[in-house]
Structure 1
Amino acid sequence: MKLTLTLVTIALSINAVFAQKTNPNYDPELATELKADDYGMKTYVFVILKTGTNESKDEELINSSFAGHMANIKRLVEENKLIVAGPMLKNEKNYRGIFILNVSTIKEAELLLQSDPAILEKFLEPELFLWYGSAALSEYLEASDKIWKTKY
């Protein structure tokens, strides 16, 4: 009897140590709105933009392509399809920038990138990866718009 009681106590202790914890701050409505799984995560597409193969020196084409690139970024943010975007600092791999797209498949991301003039003109070349991150990532955009002082 003593051995059985000891084994039950050990089993219950192990279960308590390894049991999943429920978040006391869990907001099921927000989790549903953000399409979060039980871990608060979801799939995105992470894009690394590299220097493309177009070596044109045509200033007008270059300027219009990158103006269109910036306008496309703005549009994708407004459509809640682009969560993070930003340039990379100079590096030996010719990485120019990153996007985190609020889509769950590479195919969806490829369709979105077809609207980017700098990619279409091959000034930029995208590499796409599925990425699993916090579903709350999109919530940072509202705060980020409140902290920049000077537009570049």
Structure 2
Amino acid sequence: MQAISVRQPYAWAVARGHRRLSNQSEPTSYRGTLLIHAAMRVDLDSCGLPRVRAAGWDPSDPLATLGAAIAVAELTDVCDGGPSCACGEWARQGEHHWRLEDVRPLRRPIVALGRQGGLWTVQPSLAAEVEAMLLEPPSHRERVLTT
């Protein structure tokens, strides 16, 4: 399984379905399942941005944590960020926009070391833990909270 580390609040926005891309300095030919890892650093300047506030940024949300796997998504395409880019308000001009679909937040963060700067390979034990969590039926408490 491949992964990217994303700074908060952007990792939270991806995990909660508000942001369907990740701005990256480099393109990738990889397509497929991608673990979203919340980096150990917060982009403090971004926490007050209107689009982040409008999304409902909540630092007390468990998916707003640092240093943990928080979601799984499908990396389906990469936009070059050129003049014809229509990736929306989350897209940074001049960067590559890794488009994310079928985002599935994890029920609880899984503490893990990540790596900034593009794709990295998930350790087999972390991949197994993520896959097992995605297959677990929701607990009674989780069903009550989502209905």
With normalisation by structure 2, the TM-score equals 0.28
Please identify the structure whose Cα radius of gyration is greater: 1
